[in-house]
């Protein structure tokens, strides 16, 4: 199962400050980005100011008849003084690395480093009233009273030299980080930046659980059912064989052989609804992982995943099954596990079906539906099939059962598939006898379906995709008949 990786990159914006002096409300403003001026730039500006003032003094000693010249001189004098005062008041420049702002931020349009606003009537973008005399801020292509430039999150004025922008709204950097900087769903901390100053995290492809890349190698456990990582504020249950089970999956987990019998009856009825009744009574046993592995080694045939959770046996052997549901003891560990031997006797081609204990009802049922298909193929005289064909059709039945459970037998593909399988049997699969499903259980069922559909293996994954394509095109009955004659799926 591949995991998703996300990287975000963003920007930080700066606030420029200035003054409005005199009745003309003229001022100086500048948008500062990460490109900063040098000291010689200040010297050039100072020289220009001094030169302008000097020329002005010279003009004052001359008789000037041009109309309006006095007004322009007055404006030039105000502009020069405002520029000098704004430079004196400008806060020291800081080179702050951009390392914790996501790419979802929408940077404001950057103005040139030095902008001299024209004379005229200026209105605050916040309160929509004239700026008047005094200090002002120039940012986001507008001017503001200092008290009117407020954080969109906390509604307090932004007095810091840097701020963040998201969807054209300003934020304190701390408020923006709290709202938009991703937090790890495992350690609950802000996901750190990598060496390039970018936010990088992993995400489960189905649950989209976000977590720091370090948790993949620091021993953080995953639930053996839903595959989500254990968060620090929720302790997972430790099963007797070392597997971890989250509390939500534990709610419907099946823990012993007797507890699994009602589900076994549901699966049998499901097969009957597809006109695929299994006449023989096949023992169903819930076992620990060690017992399952030992039984698999004793079995001479079969095709299994690296993590086997179910097995259809054909050989006689003794298997240790779980007789009583264990309890949860100190440290969220399973205790009081009682097991006992069960001797398998060969009365037909199938001696027993083994299922790993401690899995949620829907996962247990999908595994059981898969193994029941193995039993059906052996009991109905299907010749040895290619592993891709046999495992593929077994995954199709597991997927069909999950679909029937999630949709409760209505408006699903099961009815159409079942109706084409036989005209002499019920035309729809039976609905489940379980109680009302929670939202999480429905989501969990969708996850198990997703696992089957996206399995990358050649045997199980490609086999399922070939099988479901054939069943959807020809129906289950015709697909099985073709398999029995040719050993392959119909094209």
DSSP 397-410: HHHHHHHHHHTTTS
Residues 373 and 379: their CA atoms lie apart, in Å, by: 10
What pLDDT digit, counting tens, does each position of 408-441 carry?
A: 643 334 444 444 444 333 333 333 345 578 889 9
Above 80 in pLDDT, residue 55?
no
Mean pLDDT of 42-58: 46
pLDDT at 25: 32
- End-to-end CA distance of the chain: give it in Å, rounded: 29
Question: Nearest CA to 390 among 318, 479, 478?
Answer: 479
Beta-bridged to residue 343, according to DSSP, are: 318
What pLDDT digit, counting tens, does each position of 292-338 carry?
A: 888 888 775 555 555 789 999 887 788 888 887 888 888 788 777 78
486 versus 91: the higher-pLDDT residue is 486
Above 80 in pLDDT, residue 373?
yes
Q: Could you state, in order of their start, the residue ranges of all structural domains in the chain?
A: 137-180, 251-412+437-486
Mean pLDDT of 68-97: 45
pLDDT at 302: 53
What pLDDT digit, counting tens, does each position of 278-295 carry?
A: 888 899 999 998 888 888
Looking at residue 130, the DSSP 8-state letter turns out to be B
Percentage of the chain surpassing pLDDT 70?
68
What pLDDT digit, counting tens, does each position of 238-255 carry?
A: 998 889 999 999 999 999
Q: What is the mean pLDDT of the chain?
A: 75
Q: φ and ψ at 170, to 5 degrees?
A: -85, 150
Out of 50-59, 104-113, 175-184, 401-410, which region has the weakest mean confidence (pLDDT)? 104-113
The dotted CATH code for 137-180 is 2.10.110.10
Above 90 in pLDDT, residue 399?
yes
């Amino acid at each position: 199962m591949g995991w998703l990786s996300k990287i975000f990159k963003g920007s930080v914006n700066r606030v420029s400050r200035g003054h409005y002096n005199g009745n003309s409300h003229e001022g100086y403003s500048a948008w500062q980005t990460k490109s900063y001026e040098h000291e010689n730039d200040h010297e050039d500006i100072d020289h220009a100011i001094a030169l302008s003032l000097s020329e002005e003094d010279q003009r004052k000693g001359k008789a000037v008849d041009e109309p309006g010249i006095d007004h322009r001189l007055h404006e030039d004098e105000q502009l020069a003084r405002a520029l000098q005062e704004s430079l004196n008041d400008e806060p020291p420049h800081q080179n702050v690395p951009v390392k914790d702002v996501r790419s979802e931020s929408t940077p404001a349009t950057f103005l040139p480093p030095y902008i001299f606003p024209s004379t005229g009537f200026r209105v605050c973008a916040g309160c929509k009233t004239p700026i008047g005399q005094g200090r002002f801020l120039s940012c986001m292509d507008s001017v503001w009273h200092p008290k009117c430039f407020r954080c969109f999150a906390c509604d307090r004025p932004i007095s810091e030299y840097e701020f963040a922008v998201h969807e054209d709204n300003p934020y304190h950097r701390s408020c923006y980080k709290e709202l938009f900087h991703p937090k790890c769903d495992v350690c609950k901390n802000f996901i750190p930046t990598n060496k390039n100053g970018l936010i990088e995290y992993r995400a489960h492809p189905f649950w989209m659980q976000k977590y720091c890349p370090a948790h993949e190698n620091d021993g953080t456990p995953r639930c053996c059912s839903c595959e989500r990582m254990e968060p620090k504020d929720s302790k997972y249950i430790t099963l007797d064989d070392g597997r971890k089970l989250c509390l939500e999956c534990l709610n419907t987990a099946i823990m012993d052989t007797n507890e699994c019998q009602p589900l076994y009856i549901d699966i049998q009825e499901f097969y009957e609804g597809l006109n695929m009744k299994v006449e023989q009574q096949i023992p169903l046993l819930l076992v620990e992982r060690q017992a399952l592995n030992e039984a698999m080694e004793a079995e001479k045939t079969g095709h299994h995943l690296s993590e086997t959770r179910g097995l259809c046996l054909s050989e006689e052997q003794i298997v240790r099954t779980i007789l009583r549901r264990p309890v949860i003891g100190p440290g969220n560990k399973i205790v009081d596990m009682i097991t006992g031997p069960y001797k398998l006797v060969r009365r037909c081609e199938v001696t027993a079906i083994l299922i790993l204990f401690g899995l949620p009802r829907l996962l247990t049922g999908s595994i059981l539906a898969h193994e029941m298909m193995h039993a059906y193929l052996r009991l109905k005289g299907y010749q040895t099939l290619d592993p891709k064909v046999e495992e593929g059709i077994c995954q199709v039945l597991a997927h069909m059962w999950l679909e029937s459970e999630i949709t409760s037998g209505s408006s699903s593909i099961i009815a159409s598939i079942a109706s084409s399988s036989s005209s002499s049997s019920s035309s729809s699969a039976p609905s489940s006898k379980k109680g009302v499903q929670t939202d999480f259980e429905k989501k969990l069922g969708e996850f198990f379906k997703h696992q089957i559909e996206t399995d990358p293996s050649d045997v199980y994954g490609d086999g399922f995709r070939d099988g479901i394509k054939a069943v959807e095109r020809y129906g289950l009955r015709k697909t099985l008949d073709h398999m029995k004659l040719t050993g392959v799926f119909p094209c």
